[in-house]
Structure 1
């Protein structure tokens, strides 16, 4: 059965308002096939003009999910608007677990055509990295 977990630093700092939004989104989207799904929560640019995309990561599989040498792509209207290889060995999503996370795309990886609205993420593992 799918469970919602917060990474420890998130659990300590997240606002009650955001926690409620995440919990409600989890309840609406907690069933799925045996794959990985990113449910968009919100996105923004920070003071460095990096793109911050917060998603609820659903690991519906029966295997551990890690984000070491993982290419994450940001899309709008089915067009790729950003791509970055993330090296996040501390980010691990257990089997049958959902967890919120913010992926930060450096400014130079974002397309000038990006509207930064109604975007979503896709993922692939880069097996050629070590």
Structure 2
């Protein structure tokens, strides 16, 4: 099992954030047969988009983000949905930090940024 930083992340991530993701990885073991999004932090940017940072734990076969519809939920209610087109590939039994950007036109209801998670 491995914690892997995508190339751009690896070049730009602050040491404190790198350590934070390392700790999250150590506290959340990858489960064979399961893909899990561990919430890290959510914020609004200057355009009103939700930036949802997670640690993706891939216990399945290689997982491709390309053309995936992912849901941003709060208290199990779907708040936003967005189709992602990045060509990120997460190898089996690997964890990868990632930030999903949900644009305002994807909001079903106003986000509060509390009790949130990401799901397929």
| Bin of the TM-score, shorter chain as denominator length | over 0.9
The match for 1:13 is: 12
Separation in 2, partners of 1:48, 1:101: 19
Q: Which runs of at least 4 in structure 1 moved beyond 3 Å after TM superposition?
A: none
- Quote the residue 1:96 is aligned against: 93
* Aligned partners of 1:51 and 1:110 also within 8 Å: no
Q: How many residues matched?
A: 120
SS at match of 2:24: helix
Question: For structure 1, which runs of at least 5 residues remain unmatched after alignment?
Answer: 124-130
1:31 Cα offset (Å): 3.4
- Using structure 2 for the length normalisation, give the TM-score: 0.95
Match of 2:59 in 1: 60
Which structure 2 segments of 5+ residues have no match? Answer: none
Q: Which moved more, 1:108-117 or 1:67-76?
A: 108-117
Tell me which moved more, 43-52 or 114-123. 114-123
1:113 Cα offset (Å) = 3.5
**1:35 corresponds to:** 34
8 Å CA contact 1:59, 1:93 repeated in 2: yes
Structure 2 residue 32 is matched with structure 1 residue 4: no
2:72 aligned to which of 74, 85, 93:
74
Give the aligned CA root-mean-square deviation in angstroms.
1.1
Once the 2 structures are TM-superposed, how far is the Cα of residue 108 of structure 1 from its aligned partner? Answer: 1.4
CA drift at 1:115: 1.1
* 2:118 paired residue number: 121
TM-score w.r.t. structure 1 length? 0.88
Greater strand fraction, Structure 1 or Structure 2:
1
**Residue in 2 that maps onto 1:51:** 50
Distance 1:86 1:75, change over 3 A: same
